[in-house]
Amino acid sequence: MKNVNNSPNVRSINAGCPNRSAEMEKQLAACIRQRRGIDIALCTHHVISKALAMDPFFKGDNKGVLRSWVYHFLHRNHLSIRRRTHVGQKLNGHLQAIRDEFVEAVNERFMPQGTMEGTPTTMIVNIDETAVYYVLSATKTINETRATMVAVRGYGSNPQRLTACFAWAQDGTKLPLFLVFKAKPGGLIERRLDTLLP
C-alpha cells in the first residue's frame, strides 16, 4: 500500500528485488549532499565515478547499466538534475592555498636531491603548452528535488584556466610539469613573488 501511495502510477504493489547496494548508495548520497553543502557542482559522471571508486566491480563496471542505474539512484534519494540559480565565488584563501602548494612543489624540484638538481644548461628541451580548465562553468548540478535555490560555486561565464607546459629533453627525459596561472602585470601574484619564492 505504501508503494501505491508514493507512486500512484505503479503497475504492481510488489516491492521487487531488495537493493543489495543500499549501504553503498547511502554513503554515496551522503557524499553528494556534503559536496552540495559547499556548492560544488556535480553531474551523473561524478556520481558514477564515485560509485566505482567505492566499489570497482559495481554493476559489473558496465557503462550502460551504470547510466541506467544513476537516474534511479537519484530518484530513490530525492535528488535530481537541476539548473543553477546562483553562482558563488571561490574564497581567496582557497586560491592562495593552491598557489602556495604549487610553489612549494616546484621549489622542491630544485633543492638537493630534487629532480632538477644539477641539470646541465646545455640540455636541449622541447616544450609544449596547453590550456587546462580547472574550474568549469557548470549550469546544472545534482541537488535536492524540492529545493528552491540551487547554488554552484564557480566563476560565472569566465571559467578559470591555467597553462600547462610539458617539457621533454632531447635524450628522452621527461621534465617536471610546469604550470602557469593567469595573472595581471603588477598584480597580486607579481607583487608577492618575493614572499612566495626563496
Instruction: Give yes or no: residues 30 and 58 share one domain.
Output: yes
Q: Is it the case that residue 33 has pLDDT exceeding 80?
A: yes
Asked whether residue 82 is assigned to any structural domain, the reply reads: no
Domain C-terminal end among 77, 103, 137: 77
Domain C-terminal end among 77, 95, 118: 77
Domain extent at residue 69: 2-77
Which of 91-95, 114-118, 147-151, 156-160 has the weakest average pLDDT?
A: 156-160
CA neighbor of 165 nearest in space, from 106, 115, 119: 106
Rounded Cα gap, residues 48 and 63, in angstroms: 9
Rounded Cα gap, residues 82 and 98, in angstroms: 29
Instruction: Give yes or no: residues 113 and 53 share one domain.
Output: no
Which string of b and e fits 73-86 if b means at least 16 CB within 10 Å?
A: bbeebebbebebee
Domain C-terminal end among 19, 53, 77: 77
For position 125, what pLDDT does the model report? 75
pTM of the predicted model as reported, rounded to 2 decimal places? 0.42
Instruction: Give yes or no: residues 157 and 181 share one domain.
Output: yes
The segment with the largest mean pLDDT, out of 35-44, 63-72, 119-128, 186-195, is 63-72
How many structural domains comprise the chain? 2
Beta carbons within 8 Å of 117's beta carbon, 6+ residues apart: 110, 111
Name the percent of the chain lying above pLDDT 90: 0
Instruction: Give yes or no: residues 67 and 108 share one domain.
Output: no
**First-to-last C-alpha distance (Å) of the chain:** 71
Instruction: Give yes or no: residues 105 and 133 share one domain.
Output: yes
For position 176, what pLDDT does the model report? 84
More confident residue, 138 or 69: 69
Cell readout for 70 is 544513476
Q: What is the pLDDT of residues 139-187, one digit of tens each?
A: 778 888 888 888 777 655 445 677 888 888 878 888 888 878 776 777 7
Instruction: Give yes or no: residues 69 and 95 share one domain.
Output: no
Instruction: Give yes or no: residues 72 and 92 share one domain.
Output: no
